Amino acid sequence: MKRSGSLRSYVITRVLLAFPMLLILLTVVFLLMRVAPGDPITAALGGRVSAEELARRRHDAGYDRPLPIQYLEYLRGVATLNLGTTILDNRPMTQVIAQNGAATLELSFFAMIVAMVSGVGIGLIAGRYRDTAADLGGRLFGIVLYAAPVFFLGFLAQLTFGKWLDWLPTSGQTSPIVGATLATHTNLLVIDTIIDRNWTAFQDVVRHLIMPSVVLGLVIGGVFIRLVRVNLLQTMKGDYVEAARARGVKEGRVVYKHAFKNALVPVITIMGLEFAVLLSGAVLTEETFNWPGIGSELVRYLDNRDYIAVQGIIVVTGIVVVIVSLAIDILNAWVDPRIRY
Amino acid sequence: MTSQLETPPVPSSVDEDADLSPMQQRRLGALRRMWAPMHDAKGMPKVIVWVGIGITLAFVLMAIFATQIAPYAFDQYQTADGVRFVKQQAPSAQHLFGTNVMSTDVLSRVIFGSRTAIEVVLLSLFVSMAIGLPLGLISGYHGGKLDRTLVLFMDAMLAFPSLLFAIVIAFLLSKTFGHGVVTAALAISIVYVPQYFRVVRNHVISIREESYVEAARALGARPWTIMRRYVLQNVIQNVPIIATLNAADAILTLAALGFLGYGIQPTEAAEWGYDIQRAISDAGAGIWWTGLFPGLAIVLLVTGLTLVGEGLNDVLNPVIRKRPIQEVELPPREGTAPVQDEVAAP
Amino acid sequence: MSEPVLSVRDLRVWYGTARGPVRAVDGVSFDLMPGETLGLVGESGCGKSTLGRGLMGLLPDGAAIDGEVRYEDRDLLTLSPKRQRDIRGPDIAMIFQEPMTRLDPLMRIEDHFSETLKTHEPDLSAKEIRKRSLEALGGMGIPPTRFRQYPHEFSGGMRQRIMIALALVLRPRVVIADEPTTALDVLVEAQILRILADLRRNFDTALLLITHNLGIVAEACDRVAVMYAGKIVEEGRSRDVFREPDHPYTQALLGSIISLSTTGLRYIPGAPPDLSEPPPGCRFHPRCVDAMAVCASQEPIEERPAPGRRVSCWLYGPTYEIPEGGTEPLERQEIAVADEA
């Protein structure tokens, strides 16, 4: 018999546990970046600038100091959110994250909504009507969505809705004219256009958002279908479901209130795990649709051997992942009273 | 992933195995017990598994006999006499799937692409299992500090987006191993090691506490014997499911790497993801064959593998396995209702 | 003489399996009087739990049911699903075996009660609901301060008491208790039994107590029905049946009870039969020390050797039905070990 721990103590414990994980991630990134022979500056600019310039920039970036010192400086930089400046185009990393990170955030957010609606919706139907056409259809749909790479779906979408039907734009976050005249505040364009009441721009932004977020959302949602269905099958067999029926509770309520709700509890955890997949998918989606997000920036900087930028992006990604999984865990505890410490 | 508890020996086929040695009989019995649910399963789950096996087998055969089946080489852009193929030509008699922007035959690239995919996936499965399984076994069985550290480390790796991880590693490995099958396979393996580790470790931990393991320990069995005899056998049952599902995922990761340009160079081998990347710009011009066929190949192969994994899970997982239900016809009542009189006395 | 509150005639529940139909309940008849406690006792697998669920209409897919279950001049088996549901709760309630999993983990106790009450008495005010719930819980010894807690905060014994309170809050006329104390330790068991005994006194509720524990039956039940292989083999007042059991199976059961004066273990050789292919004639004959020739070929006809007693055994006649030579002791082969499987 446990007294239900308070949500607060659970939150505190989880937050404390997040730090070691974060540290491990940061250390791994640090080591990986230094495995490459030579240092980033030389790799990027060697042979393109004079030797003195090279030495100066190496010194500025701190690459001539012994490894342990570099590690400490690196950690300090992360803690103070000073991740340096890109070698390629001299942008401060904070700007890269603010602008491109926001674009990825917008894309991910709407994709997640699509994923939840489609995935959870179809999964519940498939589980409820087990072994009927709806179930098999739903499951097959889920498998095919998972099996189709997001860039293939993107290709098909661009072909059908872009070229052949000409309903939606296939590239970029906005059309060039709108992009040039847009005023940004939060860098989240949907919000910014609403703030400015710029309805033509709003429409343009939304139209550009549809294809990438639906494509990405469906791919993620495909995984949910399978998981939600299995969870529902298990909860429908639950003892408390039988007991509720024995009390004469209506079948609809038994299924929706008891079975569905309990089936969805682990789905929240899964959403948390899928978040990492979402980020991977975002990289591919951004490349497919020319979306100026942090994923496409990663690719661009990596192609140009700009390791400072790459390191910065990966560090930020790692931090975001840890924070999001923390948030998901807390959300989980809030929903399921059994989990609190 | 629940463990399939050992069922007591079924005496039905004892006579047939009489001529085998006791050890062989036991192994055969164990194998039969493991796969018994497959034979019992009727209907949908069985169909699903076999469809999946069929698809996967088709691709494997395509991979093995690629040179014989494919009309041209994967990087061939002209005929034997040196006449250049037409660039981006729609499907025709000479090129059933058309040609792409490099004037190479799409059909041949799809066929050779299956060889690349199978090679990379097999290699990476092997490496990740070779590392992940033993680590999981040892960590789960011994517990303690080693276990805790490994778990923290693996969890951190699992939390990170696998594709980004694979990109970085592929990039780093390409310096030493070039841009071929080996680099891609190794990058993918490293990404999947934590998954095998975690599944095996959790499994080991749940089995470790079972009473028959405790009994074995009480009898003085050595840890390695216990692990091998009880733990390994139960874990191995779940490995095919994880392996097929991981293989499916690995193909997607390989294609993603290829799409981004960190995978296999086009001069080394044909790769579906890379082809789709070149096809994206074709979409604007309405050219559909350069992207459709490689994409369909990916969808089919991954679906096939997933069906095998899912089907196996449906069949072997006792929790949601559905027993076949027969309709029952009750014969009519015999009408012998007992006389209702003073049966009860308060 | 009052009317029985529940009257079962020729009840059959057969399950469909790959091997053929399993005759879990094969022609069971009994009456339950208002306010009395009838114990239904038998080994595992004799069909008693199936019987309980069959009465409630809670059988799984693939089970066929036939016969007559009369409650208040209605045959429950002919009612529409909706009518059946209406009866579950306010008229006939069920208490299940493992209390740990019978409550929805995401719902507070308070919600369980309001759901039950609102299903059957939708016009109750919130205050009324609360009052009745607390009353029912109070009767079980659960304080009002715990009304808003979650199931996982209670021990097994307390959860069972909550289940009983949930069953009683609608004041049913019949309660079916399926092994209510099997999953609980002896001290808690005693508490629960006391509560169940009070049922009769305070609410005039009839109780069908399904159990494999003869001790409980002796202590808590007015009458007892002994079940074997899907049929009732003996029935009568518990005091009478325990003092002078008629059926060989009952005798063997009572003989195997362990007490302080037991010096050696006595058990019934053999194992309960496979219900998909029950033995011909009397189902107990393979294990019966008093078996006669007729027992292996003809099913015994129910007899009433004394007022208030029923027994199905050829030892009690009717003699005119027994063919020539049928009373000879049964020729039997050694019960092979393989037959036990």
- CA distance linking residue B342 with residue C223, whole number of Å: 13
Count of other CB atoms within 10 angstroms of residue A30: 18
Q: Which residues in C lie closer than 8 A to residue A264 (C-beta atoms)?
A: none
| Cross-chain residue pair A155–B260, CB shorter than 8 Å | no
CB pairs under 8 A between A and C: 84
Please tell me if residue A147 touches chain B, with a CB cutoff of 8 Å.
yes
Q: How confident is the model at residue B57 (pLDDT cuts 50, 70, 90)?
A: very high
* Chain C residue with the nearest C-alpha to that of A258: C104
Contact criterion met (CB below 8 Å) for B263 and B254: yes
Query: How does DSSP assign A44-69, residue by residue?
Result: HHTTTS-HHHHHHHHHHHTTTS-HHH
Using CB atoms, pick whichever of A3, A246, A248 lies closest to residue C153.
A3
Cβ within 8 Å of residue A308, ≥6 positions away: A40, A41, A61, A83, A84, A85, A86, A87, A93
Using CB atoms, pick whichever of B40, B328, B343 lies closest to residue C310.
B343
Q: Which residues in A lie closer than 8 A to residue B159 (C-beta atoms)?
A: 21, 25, 276, 321-322, 325
- CA distance linking residue C310 with residue C236, whole number of Å: 6
* Residue range A280-325, pLDDT digits in tens: 888 999 999 989 988 888 888 888 777 778 888 888 888 888 888 7
Using CB atoms, pick whichever of A35, A151, A310 lies closest to residue B276.
A151
- CA distance linking residue A206 with residue A58, whole number of Å: 44
Contact criterion met (CB below 8 Å) for C209 and C221: yes
Question: B41-74+97-316, superfamily in CATH?
Answer: MetI-like (1.10.3720.10)
The single residue listed with the structure tokens 């959110």 is A81
The tokens of B265 are what?
A: 């160079």
Contact criterion met (CB below 8 Å) for B290 and A155: no
Q: Which residues in B lie closer than 8 A to residue C7 (C-beta atoms)?
A: 340
DSSP structural state of residue B78? B
- CA distance linking residue A259 with residue A247, whole number of Å: 15
| Cross-chain residue pair C96–A337, CB shorter than 8 Å | no
* Residue range B290-336, pLDDT digits in tens: 899 999 999 999 999 988 887 777 776 655 555 656 666 667 666 54
**Single-letter amino acid code for the residue at B203:** H
Pairwise pLDDT comparison (B336 vs B189), residue with the higher score: B189
**Single-letter amino acid code for the residue at B280:** I
Using CB atoms, pick whichever of C89, C105, C107 lies closest to residue A248.
C89
Among the listed ranges A235-244, B40-49, B164-173, B207-216, which one has the minimum average pLDDT value?
A: B40-49
- CA distance linking residue C155 with residue C165, whole number of Å: 15
**Strand C37-41 versus strand C206-211 pairing type:** parallel
Domains along the sequence of chain C with CATH: 1-91+172-280 (3.40.50.300), 100-164 (no CATH)
**Cis previous bond, C318, omega within 30:** yes
Among the listed ranges A34-38, A244-248, A275-279, which one has the minimum average pLDDT value?
A: A34-38
Q: How confident is the model at residue C226 (pLDDT cuts 50, 70, 90)?
A: very high
* Chain B residue with the nearest C-alpha to that of A279: B161
CA distances from A17 to A30, B90, B195, B336, C154 (A): 21, 57, 21, 71, 29
The single residue listed with the structure tokens 């805790």 is B148
| Cross-chain residue pair B11–C16, CB shorter than 8 Å | no
Measure the CA dihedral A57/A62/A65/A70, to 10°: -150
Pairwise pLDDT comparison (B198 vs B299), residue with the higher score: B299
| Cross-chain residue pair C58–A248, CB shorter than 8 Å | no
**pLDDT value, residue C99:** 87
Give the chains touching B; criterion: ≥3 Cβ pairs < 8 Å.
A, C
- Three-state SS for B94? coil
Q: Domain limits of chain B?
A: 41-74+97-316
Give the chains touching C; criterion: ≥3 Cβ pairs < 8 Å.
A, B
Write out the H or E segment, with its range, that includes residue A133.
helix A133-147
| Cross-chain residue pair A246–C105, CB shorter than 8 Å | no
* Residue range A133-170, pLDDT digits in tens: 888 888 889 888 989 999 999 999 998 888 888 888 88
Using CB atoms, pick whichever of C14, C27, C67 lies closest to residue B328.
C14
**pLDDT value, residue B341:** 40
Count of other CB atoms within 10 angstroms of residue B177: 16
* Residue range C160-219, pLDDT digits in tens: 989 989 988 888 999 999 998 888 888 888 888 888 877 777 778 899 999 988 888 888
| Cross-chain residue pair B323–C18, CB shorter than 8 Å | yes
Q: Alpha helix locations (H) across B65-209?
A: 66-69, 106-142, 144-159, 162-177, 181-208
Chain B contact probe: residue of C7, C25, C38, C66 with most B CBs at under 10 A: C66
**What is the C-alpha end-to-end distance of chain C, expressed in Å?**
47
**pLDDT value, residue B43:** 63
Q: How confident is the model at residue B16 (pLDDT cuts 50, 70, 90)?
A: very low
Chain B contact probe: residue of C7, C31, C77 with most B CBs at under 10 A: C31
- ipTM (interface pTM): 0.82
Write out the H or E segment, with its range, that includes residue C311.
strand C310-312
**Single-letter amino acid code for the residue at B150:** L
Give the chains touching A; criterion: ≥3 Cβ pairs < 8 Å.
B, C
* Residue range C135-150, pLDDT digits in tens: 889 888 889 999 999 9
- Three-state SS for C105? coil
Q: Alpha helix locations (H) across chain B?
A: 22-40, 44-64, 66-69, 106-142, 144-159, 162-177, 181-208, 211-218, 223-226, 233-260, 272-284, 289-316
**C235: closest CA of chain A, how far (Å):** 27
- CA distance linking residue B220 with residue B198, whole number of Å: 28
**pLDDT value, residue C162:** 92
- CA distance linking residue C3 with residue B216, whole number of Å: 61
Give whichever of A195-204, A264-273, C119-128 has the largest mean pLDDT: C119-128
